Amino acid sequence: MKVSQIMTPGPTQVRENVRMARALATTNPDLDVQFYEFYKETCDKIGAFLHTNNEVRVLSGEGILGLEAACASLTEDNDRVLIIDNGIFGEGFADFVKMYGGEVVVFKGDRKRKIDTIELEKFLKKDHGFKYATVVHCDTPSGVLNDINKICHLLKEKGILTVVDSVAGMGGEDVRVDDWQIDIVLGASQKCISAPAGLTFLSISDDAFKVMKHRRKPIASYYCNLLIWKDYYKNQWFPYTPPISDIIGLRQAVDNILEDTEIIKRHSCIAKATRKAVIEAGLNLYIKDGYSNTVTVVELPEGINDKELLKHMVDEFDVFIAGSFGYLKGKVIRIGHMGENAKKDKMIYTLLALQASLKALGFECKKDMVEVFLDEV
C-alpha cells in the first residue's frame, strides 16, 4: 500500500510515538486489574483535555458509534428531539433518533454559515419541549464551525440536554465541556487526535446518566448502551473486551496533545494562512462564515474535475486530500489541517502540489499559494 502525505480531514497522519505505542506487548484487558487503572487514567486525561469533571468512556468503534450510542441511550418512543442542522452530519443525527423511536424536530440553518444563535433563541422561545438536542461542532463535509458554547447555553436554559459531535473539532478548536454545559460530547481517534481510526470517546454528564437510568424502557441496544459503562471501574468489569493496543495508542496521542500548549493557536494560524492563500490564488471558499480551524473546503474551479485533481496530486506529489460527499459531491475539495496535519511544512508542500496540479489541469492561480501562506503564517 502506497503511503502518501495524508492531508485529508481525517483520518490524519499518525506520529511515530503513537504507532510505536500500539506495537507494545499487551495483557488481557478483561482480567488484568492494572489495565482498569490504565483505562481510567486514559479517560481522566481525555477529561483534562476536554476541561471536564464528567465521566469519560472510550468505546470500541469509529466515531459514528459514539453518535449512535448517544441517541440510543437517550431516546425513547415518541421523545421529541431537536436536530440542529446546517450540514450533512448535523442532518444525519435525525436517522439515529428515528431508529430508536424518537420524534425529530429540525432547526435548519444556512449550510454555508454557522448556526445563527439569535434565530435559534427565537425558535426556542416558541418551542422548547425537547428531551435533548444535537449539534455538530465542525461539519467536516463543508467545514462549517458552530458556536457550541452559545448554542449549548441556550439549550440548557430551556432544560434541554445537549449532545455535541466534536469529532472533527476537538483538538483543533477549544472545547470546554463543563463551562459550556455540554451533557455528551463525542470525539474520535482519527481526526485532530491523530491516532488510527477505530475508537470513539465521549464525556457523559450526571444529568445525562440520570435520564438513561430513569428510562421507561431499557435501552434497545447492548453495544450502543452507555449506561452499562456506568460502574465499570468499581465493578472491575468491561461490557466487552477493550481493544487494548488501540487504547494504548490513543493514550499516547492524548499525551501529545496535552504537552502541546500552543495547539489551538497553531491550528488557528495554519487555517487562517491556508484560507488566505486559497482566496488570493483566485479560488473560492465554500462557506461564508464560521470557518473551521481544522478543515478548509474549496469550490472547484469551472472545468476542473475533482477525481482528476485528487489523482494528479497523489500520482505526481504523493499528497492525499479529499473531495466531499452528499450534496457537495464533485463540487468541492477538502484540505485537512488538523492534528499532525496542521504543520507548516506539510501545508507548504500540500499547497505547492495543489497549485501545480490545478495548473496541469488548466487552472492558473492568480498568486503563488505558498508565498501567500508564508507571508501570513
The residue written with cell numbers 505526481 in the block is 316
pLDDT, one tens digit per residue, over 289-339 is 999 999 999 999 999 999 999 999 999 999 999 999 999 999 999 999 999
Residue 157 is classified by DSSP as H
What CATH code would you report for 16-259? 3.40.640.10
What value does the mean pLDDT take over residues 240-244?
97
Asked if 161 and 74 touch (Cβ cutoff 8 Å), the reply is yes
Average pLDDT of every residue of the chain: 97
Centre a 10 Å sphere on the Cβ of residue 346 and count the other Cβ atoms it contains. 18
What pLDDT, on a 0 to 100 scale, did the predictor assign at position 159?
98
pLDDT, one tens digit per residue, over 245-266 is 999 999 999 999 999 999 999 9
In the chain, where does DSSP find H-type helix?
16-22, 33-49, 64-74, 88-99, 117-126, 148-157, 177-180, 206-213, 232-235, 244-259, 263-280, 306-317, 344-360, 369-376
In percent, the amount of the chain with pLDDT more than 90 equals 99
What value does the mean pLDDT take over residues 127-146?
97
Q: Does the pLDDT value for residue 2 go beyond 80?
A: no
How far apart, in Å, are the Cα atoms of 128 and each of 103, 159, 161, 208, 336?
14, 8, 11, 18, 36
What are the residue ranges spanned by the domains of the chain? 5-9+262-376, 16-259
Rounded to whole angstroms, how far apart are CA atoms 333 and 306?
Answer: 7
pLDDT, one tens digit per residue, over 325-369 is 999 999 999 999 999 999 999 999 999 999 999 999 999 999 999
pLDDT, one tens digit per residue, over 149-160 is 999 999 999 999
What pLDDT, on a 0 to 100 scale, did the predictor assign at position 4?
78
CATH superfamily assigned to domain 5-9+262-376: Aspartate Aminotransferase, domain 1 (3.90.1150.10)
Give me the residues paired with residue 185 across strands: 164, 203
